[in-house]
Amino acid sequence: MYAIIGLGNPDNKYAKNRHNLGFMAIDELARKYEAPAYENKFDGQFTRIEIGGRRVFLLKPMTYMNNSGIAVAKLRNFYKVAVEDIFVIYDELDLVLGKVKIKQAGGDGGHNGIKSLDSHIGKNYWRIRFGIDHPGYKDMVTSYVLSDFTNGERKEVDTRLESIAKNAELLIKGDRELFLTKFYEEFKEESK
C-alpha cells in the first residue's frame, strides 16, 4: 500500500494559493484515476485509487499546514503504510516555477508542513518538491505563498500537475529517474 499526501490549507480562501499546490496535485490525481468522492477521515479529505495494480491512498490534511503530520500519522497508523511508501507533494520556494525534484528524507527547508511531518512520522518519506519561485525578499515570503497563482502561472502549474498524475505509476514502481525524465521531456517538446 502507498500514500500520496498533498500539503495545503483547508479554507476556501486558500484554495488557489501557491501554498496549496499539494492539494491541487491530489485533486488532479483523484480526477485522473477517477477516485471515489473524498471522505472526511484521518483529519483530512481522503480517497483511494489504484495505480498500476497497487492501492494508493490520497490525503489532503485539513489540520492546516503547520499540523499536517497529525493527519498523515493517523492514516499511516490505521493502514500500516511504511514511511518509505509515502509521497508528499508540496510547494518549494527555492525552485523555479514548475521545476520538480524528488528526494527521500532530508531537511525541512523551513517548510512548516514538512517540519510537522518529520515530527510525526519521521523523515524517511519521499518529498516531491514543486517549484513556485521565491518573491526575492524573506519578509515577503508569507504573503507570497498565501497569494494566488496568476492566470499564466496557474496554466503552467495545471499542465505540470497533469504530467505528475500521468506518470505517477513510475513513482509508485520506484522508477523516480524515469519519472523525472518523462516529466521534463514533455516540457521540452512543448517549448519547441
Is the pLDDT at 191 greater than 50? The verdict is: no
User: Contact 56/172 with Cβ under 8 angstroms?
Assistant: yes
| Ramachandran angles phi, psi of 126, nearest 5° | -90, 135
Tell me if 69 sits within 8 A of 118, measured CB to CB.
Answer: yes
Q: How many domains does the chain have?
A: 1
84-122 residue pLDDT tens: 999 999 999 999 999 999 999 988 888 899 999 999 999
Show the beta-strand stretches assigned E in the chain: 2-6, 39-41, 44-51, 54-61, 86-92, 100-104, 126-131
Q: Compute the average pLDDT of residues 177-182.
A: 92
Q: What's the pTM? A: 0.94
Mean pLDDT, the chain, whole residue set: 93
Residue numbers annotated as active site: 19
Count of helix runs (H) and strand runs (E) in the chain: 7, 7
Average pLDDT over residues 20-41: 97
Examine the pLDDT at 139 and tell me if it is beyond 90: yes
Contacts 24+ apart (CB under 8 A), 30-35: 30/58, 31/165, 32/162, 32/165, 32/166, 32/168, 33/165
Structural domain including 119 reads 2-191
Centre a 10 Å sphere on the Cβ of residue 88 and count the other Cβ atoms it contains: 23
pLDDT at residue number 192: 41
What's the pLDDT score for residue 175? 92
* Angstrom distance (rounded) from CA 129 to CA 50: 23
CA distances to 69, 113, 118 from 66, in Å = 8, 5, 11
Beta strands in 13-74 (DSSP E): 39-41, 44-51, 54-61
Spatial distance between the Cα atoms of 148 and 24, rounded to a whole number of angstroms: 12
Give the three cell numbers for residue 121: 512520522
Q: What is the pLDDT of residue 186?
A: 74
The CATH code of the domain that includes 173 is 3.40.50.1470
Q: Which three cell numbers stand for residue 34?
A: 477517477
